[in-house]
Amino acid sequence: MWPIADGATSRSLVPHSAGVQGRSRPCQCLVGSFLLRFNIYTPSWVVRPGGYCWVTAECSPLLPHVETHHRRDAAPFWDETHRRLPRPSRPAGDPLRSSEGCYQLYPGHIPTSPLQKALLAAGSAFMALCDPYRHDMVAVLGETTGCLALPNLRDKMKHHPEGYRILQERPRIRLSTLDMSKLRGLPDGSLGREYVRFLEDNKVSPDTRMPPKFVDDEELAYVIQRYREVHDLMHTLLGMPTNMLGEIVVKWFEAVQTGLPMCVLGAAFGPVRLSARKLQVLATELVPWAIRSGRNASCILNVYYEQRWEQPVESLRKEIGIFPPPAVRV
């Protein structure tokens, strides 16, 4: 049953005859400018014949308390709050529990209930609409709303030879894995040279892509991580800059390709910030092209880009099925 007040003693989620003892503890989670407060039932060990079993617990949300300011720093907004939570004792020899006292499916994972995911999704969606450049909010929105799209993307990768190999080898696109000097030395028009040119012209880095935290499946967490790390390559292949218009066009392409609600939301509501002239160009030329390319192209996650740096961009576009971009100024 749900705890009824902040700090109140909680009731067990299973019959008391099962031997469960527990207590509730207050915690909080900052979502944009909203401080969501929770009572979390602390699970305990239940003695069973032949060993121990773990009893999971749920959370009950209390009323949100609105902060008087927005956090503008680039650090993940939940880390500081999460570190402040009381840390329950960890049974010896329990490799599945983190130092925070909860199960971690991968480094940095924060287990959340469906209700918590809904609250995080609502708060992050609101903040992302207010400020589309809040990449931390966009990341949380993608993780908490991708429960249907991410398994579909994983299945597409598993049924494709190159995608399956990516899932097995788990390559990462980061400065530590890229030979930037070698990529700069590639011929103009090659994927590697144009990718580095895009990074330098727009002053962006692949290391700014946040690791997943709220995806409750280790393989799906890699899928969304891979999607984030190839996002800049989508800009390169589509020939789109990182300004608002360029991001909206890429979001339309990604929405058709991935089905992620976060991409659909960005594609649908991003144009409200554009001028009338840019809206006309977007509606008449860029969006139709992005939708046609997204439908025609094979899954963008099934390309082992790290092994295609020397391939010409035009050749890779044809291979994937991306139509040449319109001759308009973005």
**247 known member of a binding site:** yes
Higher pLDDT, 155 or 94: 155
What's residue 96's pLDDT?
Answer: 53
CA–CA distance, 240 with 248 (Å, rounded to integer): 10
Q: Which structure tokens are listed for 268?
A: 């649908």
Contact at 8 Å (CB) between 129 and 269?
yes
Contact at 8 Å (CB) between 52 and 46?
yes
What's residue 238's pLDDT?
Answer: 97
Give the mean model confidence (pLDDT) for residues 10-21. Answer: 38
When mean pLDDT is compared over 36-40, 75-79, 262-266, 271-275, the highest value belongs to 262-266
What's residue 273's pLDDT?
Answer: 87
Q: Which structure tokens are listed for 54?
A: 């773990």
**232 known member of a binding site:** yes
What's residue 327's pLDDT?
Answer: 82
Of 8, 15, 19, the closest CA to residue 41 belongs to: 8
Q: How confident is the model at residue 133 (pLDDT cuts 50, 70, 90)?
A: confident
Q: Is the pLDDT of residue 147 over 90?
A: yes
Is pTM beyond 0.75? Reply is: no
| Burial of 215 (C-beta count, 10 Å sphere; 0-12/13-18/19+) | buried
| Burial of 214 (C-beta count, 10 Å sphere; 0-12/13-18/19+) | buried
Q: Which structure tokens are listed for 52?
A: 């121990």
pLDDT digits (tens, 9 = 90+) for 173-208: 999 999 999 999 999 999 999 999 999 999 999 999
pLDDT digits (tens, 9 = 90+) for 97-132: 554 556 789 999 999 999 999 999 999 999 998 888
What's residue 103's pLDDT?
Answer: 73
Give the mean model confidence (pLDDT) for residues 277-300. Answer: 96
**231 known member of a binding site:** yes
